[in-house]
Chains A and B, each alone.
Chain A
Amino acid sequence: MSEAMLPTEVVLGAWVATGLTLFIYSFLYKDNPLFKLGEHLYVGVSIGYSVVLVWYTVFKRLVWEELNRGNYEPLVGVVIGVLILTQFFPKVSWLSRIAFAFIVGFGSGVSIPRAVSSYILKQIEDTVNPLLTMGADGLSLGLDLASPQSGVNTIILLVGVVSVLFYFFFSVEHTGPGMVTARTGIYFLMIAFGAAFGYTVMSRMSLLIGRFRDLITFSGAAYGYATLVLLLITVLSLAGWELAVRLKGGEE
């Protein structure tokens, strides 16, 4: 770590960031005021940030500047947008329905053919594949598990897709051959959930690693040992809060 002096705002920023990080982590001890403070700050700053960006990007760039350029088309969007806001005025709130009708109608219409194309037909297309391939030495069934496109994997994929679809099929009882298919489906589902589970663990651990890396950086001398000092302060405040709660005889 370089011992060069860092600009004041960077050091200050490191202290604020570290403090907020530790506030949130204090939830690990239990739900407490420091955590709630951090949580509400988080929501507040996000909202404030979005407001500023929406102002400059939407109202200034897409509306105001276009109007100044003599292009009045954005006014249609503005009018419908204003209709949405009538929600706040009970007398005319029904006007917002016209706006929702516009948005929802457009969204539904646009999505139908596209969902059929990308999520249904395309997926069927890629599942329906010949199991055998014609090579130089005649017909063969690819037995290579490592190649996702091999014949044996095509069969497994087909069995998986059909059995899981069948599991979510509610018009027949799961008995006889139906039961076998549904059981197959549920095991396929469980394996996929297991994979999702593993990936989610991976993801959460990565986030933790990212935060710890920052905390380690900010514990250096260049940042005035921010992490260490603030950790102490956080622990002491939690202890103080705990004491105060007990003295008051209140229960958490």
Chain B
Amino acid sequence: MIPASLLLLLLIGGPAFASPPSPPEGIRVLDTPNDAGKSLSLVWKASSSDRKDRSVQVWVAESPQAAFQKVAEFPSNSRYVKIGDFPWWAQPAGKGDHYFKLSSSQAFPIDNGKPYAVKLLIRESGQEVWSEAAEGVAAPDYFNSSQVNNLVFVLAFTGVLLASIAAARRNPHVYLRRIAGLDAVEEAIGRSTEMGRPILYLTGSGGMSDVSTIAATVILGQVAKKVAHYETTLKVPHRDPIVMAVCQEIVKEAYVEAGRPDAFKEDANFFITDDQFSYTAAVDGIMLREKPAANFFMGSYFAESLLLTETGAGTGAIQIAGTDSDHQLPFFVTTCDYTLIGEELYAASAYLSREPVLVGTLRGQDFSKAFIMGVLVVGTVLATTGVMLQTDAFNYLLDLFRDFK
């Protein structure tokens, strides 16, 4: 039912022009899928006469009998459903249909559970035509089905992770590749022994809850074992008393394992200060005075990295770094001889310690990485083939790896 005043307007404005625009077809009003409610979705068929200067107005009312109110206006050749807007398993409209989301607003509030009527008005150069009215009810949803791929991904990853941790518990000696920087450790220690100079090992600025610090202490254990074997001096200056206590235990144990408990010295680990630049200045002092033949920088670092490695490079020491602090990595790479980059640090600690949880996590991530690499390559090939063959068929697969809201 069109309000009388509008009808009047139509009668006056209408007849001056030739053929009036055709009304939009197939209009449907749905509850917007996968949302928190208070919103309706409008779908209608595209028409061959859609163009920029023909506009569509959306009118809405609390019932077909009530007064309609204009809530939106846009050109008729917009608001099409495109590939990527919705996943194929949760599509409110077909490709090429028009789609408009009508949200609750101050001008026109929409409540859940109440029916609303919607009509479209097509206007072109003064001529107007109304569509049929359609009704719909808004409701909140309990599951966002367009994110089901995300959920599947999380569940699958959980499964892979648990399985690989369980596998690593049965056999912690699964294959992991050698890491280049680790091979250099032996060389560095050998050289220190030859030159009769100490080895300096830093565990970074993180506390014991930091993953990279834990990795650094694991690697320290292996370095200490080799040091004990070669009878070289090890120096580990600290910034955190707790990390120091942990490292003391680790080094002592390493000497025992190497069969040289007698060679262990309590003062290999020592605390300097907790503040960043004073610690750096002190470590630089050690480098300049004692001229260690090898410097190890493992763990997480901040701005002090450059000050440390620059001084170390000046003394001619072999420098081996390993950090996940990506903002410092460029400096380590240019000033050190070997650098374990990011995840290589964790891998190195898993490789050396053979701790099942570490090894299992690494393996689990590797499986998932391989899967993602496969998706990237195969996906690109399919997408390209899709363009060549002019088909959307591959989107059934590609949609699985898109992020939908």
Contacts and interface: CB of A to CB of B under 8 A. Distances in A.
A150 B362 CA distance: 35
A12 interface: no
Nearest to B328: A200
A116 B362 CA distance: 18
Interface string B108-123: 0000000000000000
Interface in B322-349: 326-327, 329-331, 333-334, 341-344, 347
Nearest to B158: A112
Interface in B342-358: 342-344, 347, 351
B388 A165 contact: no
B166 interface: no
B336 to A, nearest CB: 13
Contact of B281 (A30, A158, A171): A30
Interface residues of B, number: 52
Nearest to A182: B177
B277 A39 contact: yes
Contacts, number: 124
Interface of B: 147, 149-151, 153-154, 175-179, 275, 277-278, 281-282, 285, 326-327, 329-331, 333-334, 341-344, 347, 351, 362-363, 366, 369-370, 372-373, 375-377, 379-380, 383-384, 386-388, 390, 398, 401-403
Contact of B331 (A31, A112, A197): A197
Contact of A139 (B178, B377, B388): B388
A166 to B, nearest CB: 7
Contacts of A166: 373
Contacts of A161: 376
B318 to A, nearest CB: 20
A131 B326 CA distance: 31
A169 B398 CA distance: 24
A171 B176 contact: yes
B150 A193 contact: no
A133 B347 contact: no
A71 interface: no
A127 B327 CA distance: 24
The 3 tightest CB contacts between A and B, nearest first, are A31-B281, A128-B379, A197-B330
